[in-house]
Amino acid sequence: MKQSEKVIFKPYDPNQATFLPPSLDELIPEDHQVRFINAIIDRINIDEILGSYKGGGTSSYHPRLMLKILIYGYVQRIYSCRELAKASREHIHFMWLSGGQAPDFRTINLFRKSRLRTTLKDLFTQVMQILIDKQLVDLKHYFVDGTIVEANARKHSAVWAKNVGRYEASLREQIKELFEQIQAAGDAEDQDYGDRDFLETGEDSPWSSDDLKEAVDRINDNMERQPSKKAGAKATIKKAVGKLSRDKLPRLRRYEQQKKVLAGRNSFSKTDPDATFMKGKDQPIFSKQLIAAYNIQLGTQNQFIVGYSLHQKPSDKTNLCEHLNQLINLPSTIIGDAGYGTADNYQWLKAHEIEAYLKYPGYDRKPDAYSPRQMPYDPSEDSYECPQGRKLRYQGEIRRNYGQPIALKAYECESCHGCPVREQCHKSVGNRRIHINPSLMAWKDWVDHRLSKPLGQWLKRRRSPEVESVFGQLKCNDGLRRFAMRGKSMVELEMGLKALAHNLRRLYAVKAGESQATWEMETG
């Protein structure tokens, strides 16, 4: 007997009929993640979403059903509406969630875009309340950090503020020359076809495209009321007016629109005007390539996301106050890296009675013997003393712009001639000069004292595993390397759904380690 004839296989017949069709509920284990998500969403109040329906017409899929499909899809890292629609037809967990109903991808996308854009923050807050009730977060310690995430935009679609300003200035000069030609042609036959006042508004109140359109219309009206006797003058005026209306006016309107979109930013993308060109954090240090992106600010506690916001400025320090202002309740303590350490941020946090544990730039570097903070200060003479015993005396105040104007105090050494350590101290031709921000110097001393205490040292150690691990989860596991949606409101929705899915996944993981009795949900 052959060895293969001794093998016994289980009966296999894919066409085998069953006496009763199996229930989907029987196929899903009691402790499966889909049941947990179902119970959470049943507990959430969706009155705000219900209020967005006008009523009338054909029947709609229930918003709670749509929420379950979307949120469970994001928990399972399925973000495409087509994939979600397919799963609701083929995947037993989605079929169980939807009760056998299968909305198509357009319906899912429309619900996400029109119903959740303004209501997702409320859903996120309700899940946050569940975390607070379970004593998983208390908003006492708020670990904050930011990261740059690429936008869904073409790489070579940048509009730069400097270029817009330069092109607009050149265009205005061309327009001015055309009006001078019109004026000269009109004066040649004692007729006023131009508008002298139009060119005399000055730089403080520059004329707009509407002003230009009005001036061109006045010239055309004057030409109709006062026909030119000279064919050459008429041809000159018509040619100039044609250039103004067909070329210069549309270009001026385009530059005005671009300046409006920029709104103080240095750039934007043509394919996603809300995105700003920034340097990605994954790029090499010395790389000059910029990408269209958004700055994501996250606040975490116990590796749950307790706050998120979307920003169009690349620097973390300029986004901190805006990020905290978007929170419903301000935290009592905030912990961040050196990217947030500015005098303005320290002052804002103190004014709002928030305990700040924020490093300042250079906090972790080894102290330099010739740095201003290592030099003794004499308030009676308003001078510093270098390690070689030479005085650096006050020279006056200078202003610098680091995102906003800052007044600095300038000090200069009385003489660096013959100093044996000159090359270690500085490499400038003249005497050593230092620039001091007195307010920031005082805050640095305050930060050093606070972070040297046991609580400060413990929070410093906790910051990196708290918030960096969350960014690692979002980027590596959830694929948050590049946004799929366009426009700030839609990108914020995408970010919110991923933050909500992250919290639910972690909440389920915590629940899996505890007894089932402590996690029974009220679904009424």
Dihedral Cα 344, 347, 353, 354, nearest 10 deg: 50
Q: Which residue has the higher pLDDT, 246 or 196?
A: 246
Q: Which residue has the higher pLDDT, 227 or 277?
A: 277
Q: Determine contact, residues 139/332, Cβ cutoff 8 Å.
A: yes
Q: Which residue has the higher pLDDT, 501 or 139?
A: 501
Give the number of C-alpha atoms closer than 13 A to the C-alpha of residue 502, restricted to the C-beta side. Answer: 29
Q: Determine contact, residues 508/78, Cβ cutoff 8 Å.
A: no
Residue 336 φ/ψ, nearest 5 degrees: -150, 175
Euclidean distance between CA atoms 277 and 283, whole angstroms: 13
pLDDT of amino acid 22: 78
Q: Which residue has the higher pLDDT, 369 or 276?
A: 276
Euclidean distance between CA atoms 357 and 362, whole angstroms: 15
Nearest alpha-carbon partner for 153 in 22, 291, 25: 291
CA distances from 421 to 374, 375, 414 (A): 16, 15, 15
Q: Determine contact, residues 261/276, Cβ cutoff 8 Å.
A: no
Question: Given its phi and psi angles, is residue 132 left (phi above 0), alpha (psi -120 to 50 degrees) or beta?
Answer: alpha
DSSP state of 474: I
Q: Determine contact, residues 177/371, Cβ cutoff 8 Å.
A: no
Euclidean distance between CA atoms 140 and 457, whole angstroms: 17
pLDDT of amino acid 170: 93
pTM of the model: 0.86
Euclidean distance between CA atoms 303 and 477, whole angstroms: 15
pLDDT of amino acid 514: 65
In terms of DSSP H, where are the helices of 277-418?
320-325, 343-351
340 C-beta neighbours (distance < 10 Å), count: 28
pLDDT of amino acid 358: 93
Euclidean distance between CA atoms 421 and 415, whole angstroms: 13
Longest alpha-carbon distance in the chain? 122
Statement: residue 519 has pLDDT above 60? no
Q: Which residues are bridge partners to 435 per DSSP?
A: 410
DSSP state of 17: -
Average pLDDT, the chain: 87
pLDDT of amino acid 2: 63
Q: Could you report the per-residue pLDDT of 50-93, keeping only the tens digit for each?
A: 998 887 778 899 999 999 999 999 999 999 999 999 999 999 99
Structure tokens at 226: 């006062």
Structure tokens at 23: 């229930």
Confidence bin at 12 (pLDDT 50/70/90): confident
pLDDT of amino acid 202: 43
Q: Determine contact, residues 71/116, Cβ cutoff 8 Å.
A: no
Q: Could you report the per-residue pLDDT of 188-216, keeping only the tens digit for each?
A: 655 555 554 555 444 445 778 888 888 88
Q: Determine contact, residues 371/360, Cβ cutoff 8 Å.
A: no
- 493 burial (CB, 10 Å; 0-12 / 13-18 / 19+) is buried
The side-by-side arrangement of strands in the sheet containing 383-385 is 377-378, 383-385, 391-401, 405-413, 433-436
Q: Could you report the per-residue pLDDT of 414-436, keeping only the tens digit for each?
A: 888 888 888 888 888 888 998 88
Dihedral Cα 123, 332, 336, 446, nearest 10 deg: 160
Euclidean distance between CA atoms 90 and 301, whole angstroms: 37
Map residue 160 onto helix, strand or coil. Answer: strand
Q: Determine contact, residues 346/448, Cβ cutoff 8 Å.
A: no
Q: Taking residues 364-372, what's their average pLDDT? A: 83
pLDDT of amino acid 230: 65
Structure tokens at 433: 């000069």
pLDDT of amino acid 205: 54
Map residue 353 onto helix, strand or coil. Answer: coil
Q: Taking residues 253-281, what's their average pLDDT? A: 93
pLDDT of amino acid 516: 45
Euclidean distance between CA atoms 277 and 260, whole angstroms: 17
Structure tokens at 417: 């001639």
Structure tokens at 35: 């049941």
Length of the chain in residues, anyone? 524
Euclidean distance between CA atoms 261 and 431, whole angstroms: 46
Euclidean distance between CA atoms 463 and 456, whole angstroms: 11
